[in-house]
Amino acid sequence: MIPYEGELLWPGNLGHGAVIVSFCAALLGFLAYGHALQGHKLERGRWETWGRWAYGLHSLAVFTVIGVLFGIIYTHRYEYHYAWSHASKALPVRYILSAFWEGQEGSFLLWIFWHVVLGLFFLATTGRRWEAGVMTVLCLAQLMLSSMLLGTLFEIPFLGDLKIGSSPFVLLRETLQAPLFERPDYLQWITDGNGLNPLLQNPWMVIHPPVLFLGFAACTIPFGYAVTALVRRLYREWVGPALAWSLVAVLTLGSGIIMGAAWAYESLNFGGYWAWDPVENASLLPWLFMVGALHGLHAYSKSGYSLKSTFMMVMLGFVLVLYATFLTRSGILGESSVHSFTDLGLSGQLLAFLLLFLAVMVGLLALRWKEIPSKEKDGEESGTSREFWLFVGSMTLVVSAFQILLTTSIPVFNAVAGTNMAPPADVVSYYNRWQLPIAVLILLMGTTAFRLRFGRSEPAPVLRWIMVMTSIAVVMTLLVGYTQQIGYWSYLLLIFASCYALVGNLHQLYRARQRVSTQGGLFAHLGFGLMMLGVLVSSSRKEVVSLNLEGTPLGSNFSPAQARENVLIYQDQSKTMAGYQVTYQGDSIAGPNRYYKLDFQKKDENGRLVYQKTLYPNAQINPKMGLIASPATMHFWDHDLYMHVTQVPDPENFEQKSRLYAEPVLHYLDARGDTLMLKESLVIFEGLQTQLDDQWAEETSGAEAAVGAPLRIRNLQGEFRLMPVYVLRGGVEFRYPDQTQEPGMRVELQKIDPQTGQVALSVQTLQPAPRAYVVLKMLRFPWINAVWYGSFLLVGGLSLSVMHRNRQYSRERTAD
């Protein structure tokens, strides 16, 4: 044992102990609540009291774990691996939070934290009828999640060691092997941590993960209601609260996804807000299912229709949260995603987590399948009823999710079947091809369904309404298509569907103007329509405006898809892009970032300046990750101009590179006098000079011949004189070259040929100083604001619905 100095070990021990307590308390809570759920009515109360105590203890332990880990990071205790690998002293305080959840362990803690908060909120506000079931599920989820943080080695006979979880409190010296750790005072040599990935040093990364994980956590509660409903046969009663909680899940998860898109657009450089990356898809999948579940629950609550599929969607929503967790954290995505977590050896546990809840779902549904009421009283569902179209709509969402699921799961398929499949080469257009018609269907059905009644509607007025809305939408489509020059019929179809959603939902809102606060659904659908319109126009008319027409020709066998999309601008020079004169005015450094100053000017026909703006796209030239560029964007009401640097001269090489002479070039001149035109200067040779002045006395003494070549060099900087000298002494040639710093020229008198009367001058010019430049990529996104405003409306509408349901649900409860 080495007596290590300066280590603060008690926080780690406290934290690790608290993890174990939280795990055990979750187990206790699960057992107690499980008994309460299943056991005899008379025993329930006692078991629930036990469960509540266990959950309280669990919550306390979780808060301790979080507090300790945060403290370790905040006070830069680098003896702990987590603090060392995710933080550094230069990290601004606001990003300590990002550092907290950058690692897997921290992000599990975030999820655990939201479960605790939601669980406590649930206990405080919700009646006891649901407590046992929901809390059993919540405790089971917490049990699985806190096991991810245990970091304990179990020795199992015959199977060897089994490592459960990965503790955030392991010490640096326990994780890494280095000779340094043989010194008792190793800690004073570790002066700084590894630092936070610069991509995550962004305000969006402070806010986006908590919202997303709140969404994940919120999906657990509806699952809990479904379990309770199935176990206790409360097929009717669960719908109200499950609907309210599903709305919360859809709202928070949706906001998290939109924030992720905004983060990608504002500060990543992949040129857009959505790339169908597996990690993005992984959070979209549960969202689609929860939206489907929402519509199923709504339909069932009004009509008693489609309960079985609703159960499945609610439960699959949470199972897909677990699948998403498995995908992004097990390392299985491998090559197909750029931003998944690295494998911590938790894949087995993650898989167990997923399979456990899948088994709960399948088992319970199989057990109760026959009893779940399904409405068949009419034998035929009326095609003019709202519930029918709600059902069809949610099935369409399932189809959409299935397509995303299948393509995203290709790496999983490879791992299981040992195949070597890769995602389609142009994966974005592959997804779009499938998802575009689905979006069209959803927009059309979602809008029309609001015009229908539950039960049965009179077809004639509905048809009339559809006709009117369609005609308005067709006119709008033609307008949009014409002004934005969109010719593809499939794109026009989506524009039509979006316009139909816009006018249809606006009209419905107008009709319901007396009770706007209950119309969250209409606002959300309106927002979705606006968003899809923005998505279609901004992505189909996205344009690279930094097209480079220079450079080596591509040859005939290249498609325009491989167009050159990057433009180089030297400092103090300008290029014209998208009608702007863009001038690169140099760079500056602030913190870890280098800002590239770009001046944008637009002039009218008379040369008058009509627009001027300076933009600063920045980049970190990070010793660990190379160039990390962040875009800068010019926002206009109808489009954005978005740009980022793709290449800059390496600042280090740039500063150190000393100027070099180019290869010498021989020039033959008339020995009596001549002139020589060079690229940037004029050389006047005044004729060989045989009488050299005294300064050459030493070199010329005893020489057979000594001549000089007086030169006058004129260039932009002025006139300079040079005098290279040639000496022949004892049969040996000596050449004394002459040089100037400022036009940067070195001349040697190489040879004198008496026969031709010529002299040979060897001229070397100094290579021009390296010039600063940036290589830029610039994109134009038309109508991008429609995406953001649509998202606001969608989120706003969902919030309105959450409030409305909450009011309604608390009325129901008081009526109970």
- Contacts to another protein by CB under 8 A: 85, 175-176, 178, 180, 190, 194-197, 335, 338, 342, 376, 379-381, 383, 388, 392, 395, 398-399, 402-403, 406-407, 410, 420-426, 430, 434, 548, 550-552, 554-555, 557-558, 561-568, 624-629, 646-647, 649, 771, 773, 775, 777
The two structure tokens encoding residue 616? 């600063």
Whole-number minimum distance, CB 608 to another protein, in Å?
A: 32
Whole-number minimum distance, CB 309 to another protein, in Å?
A: 10
The two structure tokens encoding residue 704? 């057979």
Give 628 or 723: the residue with its C-beta nearer to another protein.
628
Cβ atoms < 10 Å from Cβ of 179: 7
Q: What burial letters (b/e) apply to 569-594, b meaning 16+ CB within 10 Å?
A: beeeebbebbebebbbeebeeeeebb
Coil/strand/helix, residue 68: helix
Give CA 256 to chain center in angstroms.
Answer: 12
Coil/strand/helix, residue 781: strand
The two structure tokens encoding residue 269? 């450089």
CA distance 575 to 198: 30
At residue 469, what is the residue type?
M
- Helix or strand holding residue 805 (H, E): helix 784-815
Whole-number minimum distance, CB 413 to another protein, in Å?
A: 9
Bridge partners, 681 (sequence order) = 715
Give 647 or 740: the residue with its C-beta nearer to another protein.
647
List the Cα angle 393/394/400 in 5-degree steps. Answer: 90
CA distance 342 to 330: 7
Give 372 or 392: the residue with its C-beta nearer to another protein.
392
Give 429 or 675: the residue with its C-beta nearer to another protein.
429
Give 157 or 555: the residue with its C-beta nearer to another protein.
555
Q: Are 643 and 779 in contact (CB under 8 A)?
A: yes
Give 85 or 765: the residue with its C-beta nearer to another protein.
85
Whole-number minimum distance, CB 567 to another protein, in Å?
A: 7
CA distance 558 to 500: 40
Whole-number minimum distance, CB 765 to another protein, in Å?
A: 18
Whole-number minimum distance, CB 719 to another protein, in Å?
A: 31
CA atoms within 13 A on the CB side of 317: 36
Give 5 or 426: the residue with its C-beta nearer to another protein.
426
Give 586 or 626: the residue with its C-beta nearer to another protein.
626
Q: Are 72 and 83 in contact (CB under 8 A)?
A: yes
Whole-number minimum distance, CB 693 to another protein, in Å?
A: 44
CA distance 430 to 424: 7
Whole-number minimum distance, CB 601 to another protein, in Å?
A: 22
DSSP 558-569: --GGG----EEE
Give 363 or 459: the residue with its C-beta nearer to another protein.
459
CA distance 115 to 629: 36
Whole-number minimum distance, CB 237 to another protein, in Å?
A: 25
DSSP 299-366: HHHHH---HHHHHHHHHHHHHHHHHHHHHHHSSTTGGG-SSPPPP-S-HHHHHHHHHHHHHHHHHHHH
Whole-number minimum distance, CB 3 to another protein, in Å?
A: 21
> In 3D, which of 111, 109, 84, 86 has the Cα closest to residue 96?
86
Give 548 or 806: the residue with its C-beta nearer to another protein.
548
Whole-number minimum distance, CB 550 to another protein, in Å?
A: 8
Whole-number minimum distance, CB 512 to another protein, in Å?
A: 29
Q: Are 224 and 272 in contact (CB under 8 A)?
A: no
Q: Are 537 and 786 in contact (CB under 8 A)?
A: yes
Coil/strand/helix, residue 219: coil
Give 763 or 774: the residue with its C-beta nearer to another protein.
774
Give 51 or 103: the residue with its C-beta nearer to another protein.
103
Q: Are 16 and 151 in contact (CB under 8 A)?
A: yes
Cβ atoms < 10 Å from Cβ of 152: 15
Q: What burial letters (b/e) apply to 222-236, b meaning 16+ CB within 10 Å?
A: bbbbbbbbbbbeebe
Q: Strands, E, within 608-717: which ranges? A: 609-615, 618-622, 626-630, 632-635, 639-647, 665-670, 674-677, 681-685, 705-708, 711-715
Whole-number minimum distance, CB 552 to another protein, in Å?
A: 5
Q: Are 721 and 711 in contact (CB under 8 A)?
A: yes
Whole-number minimum distance, CB 90 to another protein, in Å?
A: 15
Whole-number minimum distance, CB 70 to another protein, in Å?
A: 20
- 453 secondary structure, DSSP code: B
Instruction: Name residues whose C-beta falls within 8 Å of residue 626's C-beta, 6 or more positions apart in sequence.
Output: none
Whole-number minimum distance, CB 769 to another protein, in Å?
A: 13
Give 393 or 446: the residue with its C-beta nearer to another protein.
393
Give 117 or 627: the residue with its C-beta nearer to another protein.
627
Give 327 or 711: the residue with its C-beta nearer to another protein.
327
Q: Strands, E, within 158-300: which ranges? A: 160-164
CA distance 718 to 797: 72
CA distances from 552 to 159, 548, 549 (A): 62, 10, 9
Give 384 or 700: the residue with its C-beta nearer to another protein.
384
Whole-number minimum distance, CB 738 to another protein, in Å?
A: 31
Give 151 or 195: the residue with its C-beta nearer to another protein.
195
CA distance 288 to 797: 17
